[in-house]
Amino acid sequence: TYQTITVLHQDDITRVALNRPEVMNALNSRMRFEIAAALTALPPGTRCVVLTGTGRAFCSGQDLTDASAGMDVERILREEYEPMLKAITSAPVPVIAAVNGVAAGAGANLALATDIVIATESASFVQAFSRIGLIPDAGGTFIVPRAVGTARAKGMMFFAEPVSARQAADWGLIWEAVADAEFESRVAERAAMLAQGPTQSYLAIREAVLESASNGIEAQLAVEARLQARMAATADFAEGVGAFLQKRRPKFSGR
Ligand code: T3D
């Protein structure tokens, strides 16, 4: 049983909600461990994960009441943040971040580590780190410049100001910003789509997109050929082609 998150499984979707609303879901050691544990031991039948926050924030980043000069930050990042992030980036199903409110510091980069980020319009993303004399961690210096370019990345990181969900979507930092009133239904709709989709395709797309960050075209064509050969052997490929030819909706099994 978890103390800092809630996990709810329904209709093939597992909803993991950060649950320390009194501190805007700040990450402490236990929460990092629990997020990693939840993502690596998903309930059987999970075809999509929705990561969200309880209350008015998504996540305010490192719990600053736990942080102090002289702490072993390198150990915390390597032994606590990294397993949490890797649990997300290697989850066996697609992961959606449903950013219900502010995502600050490592909380922003936690959201950005997922496959698809959907934010409510009143949410914002803050690379807060330099306000307290740190640099972005939790993968921020990898993902943000690749998404928005170095000029906007460094602006976000130097000024450490909130970037609205709308701006984040316009810049290509996230998939979409949704009006607050429609946010929950949009997340549910997208999660259902992914939960009914070809899971193996999503995982291979994730892998290919990640590899593209460091590959040239030759190497990337080889990645595509290797992964596509794997896809062509899946039941979902047979189903997808069969459904197309029979002019019906495919029924994907995730295999
Ligand atoms: O240290 C290491 O291990 C290295 C790793 C670092 C990774 C990091 O994430 S560093 C960056 C840490 N995060 C921040 O610097 C963000 C701090 N928080 C904020 O800037 C603001 O709280 C927000 C922009 C997130 C929200 O602002 P607002 O005005 O909506 O809410 P608030 O009033 O500031 O916060 C509400 C409560 O949550 C408040 O407590 P109170 O006064 O009601 O008792 C506030 O202290 C608490 N809270 C917010 N963020 C944190 C927090 N408590 C602990 N840690 C937090 N990060």
CATH at 227:
1.10.12
ipTM above 0.95, yes or no: yes
- Asked whether the predicted pLDDT for residue 44 surpasses 90, the reply is yes
Q: Is residue 136 predicted with pLDDT exceeding 90?
A: yes
Confidence of residue 70 (pLDDT cuts 50, 70, 90): confident
Please indicate, yes or no, whether residues 106 and 206 belong to a single structural domain of this protein: no
Say if ligand 1 is within 6 A of residue 235 CB: no
Indicate if the pLDDT at residue 195 is higher than 90.
Answer: yes
Domain count of the fold of the chain: 2
Same domain flag for 64 and 10: yes
Q: What is the mean pLDDT of residues 198-215?
A: 98
> Three-state SS for 13?
strand
Mutate to test the pocket of ligand 1, among 60, 144, 163 (most ligand atoms within 8 A of CB): 60
Tell whether 253 is covered by a domain: no
pLDDT at 223: 98
CATH number, domain of 172, equals 3.90.226.10
> Is 255 a domain residue?
no
The reply to whether 188 and 127 lie within a common domain is yes
- The torsion defined by the Cα of 181, 118, 50 and 233, in degrees rounded to 10, comes to 130
The rounded distance, in Å, linking the Cα atoms of 90 and 15 is: 17
> Same structural domain for residues 106 and 181?
yes
Last residue of a domain, one of 153, 169, 195: 195
Average pLDDT over residues 111-138: 98
Instruction: Evaluate whether residue 42 is within a structural domain.
Output: yes
User: Residue 78 is part of which domain span?
Assistant: 5-195
Q: Do 76 and 147 lie in a common domain?
A: yes
* C-beta 31 within 6 A of ligand 1: no
Same domain assignment for residues 144 and 236: no
Q: Is the CB of 129 under 6 A from ligand 1?
A: yes
Mean pLDDT of 216-234: 98
Same domain, 171 and 216: no
Kindly report the length of the chain.
255
Please state at what angle helix 217-232 crosses helix 199-212, rounded to 10 degrees: 170
Q: Whose CA is nearest to atom 37 of ligand 1?
A: 23
* Ligand 1 centroid from CA 40, angstroms: 27
Q: How confident is the model at residue 69 (pLDDT cuts 50, 70, 90)?
A: confident
Residues 124, 229: one domain?
A: no
* Cα–Cα distance, 158 to 160 (Å, whole number): 6
Please determine, for residue 194, whether its predicted confidence score (pLDDT) is greater than 90: yes
Residue 136 and residue 48 share a domain: yes
Kindly state whether residue 252 falls inside one of the protein's structural domains: no
- 126 CB less than 6 Å from ligand 1? yes
Same domain, 126 and 228: no
In this predicted structure, what is the pLDDT of residue 143? 98
Q: Return d(Cα 62, Cα 183) in angstroms, integer.
A: 26
- Domain end (from 156, 173, 195): 195
End-of-domain residue from the set 179, 195, 211? 195
Question: For residue 150, is it within any domain?
Answer: yes
Evaluate whether residue 126 is within a structural domain. Answer: yes
* pLDDT, average across residues 58-76: 93
Q: How far is the CA of 89 from the centre of ligand 1 (A)?
A: 25
Paired tokens of 216: 């040239």
Residue 250, domain member (yes or no): no
What CA–CA distance (Å, rounded) separates 253 from 236? 6
- 39, 49 Cβ separation under 8 angstroms: yes
Check whether residue 191 and residue 217 sit in a common domain. Answer: no
pLDDT digits (tens, 9 = 90+) for 5-16: 999 999 999 999
Indicate whether 97 pLDDT > 90.
Answer: yes
How many angstroms separate the alpha carbon of residue 23 from the centre of ligand 1?
A: 7
Mean pLDDT of the chain: 98
Residue 169 has pLDDT above 90, yes or no: yes
Rounded-to-integer distance, Cα 94 and Cα 193, Å: 11
pLDDT of residue 71 exceeding 90: no
Q: What is the pLDDT of residue 67?
A: 84
Report yes or no on 220 lying in a domain: yes
In this structure, are 222 and 130 located in the same domain? no
Given a cut of 90, is residue 148 above it in pLDDT?
yes
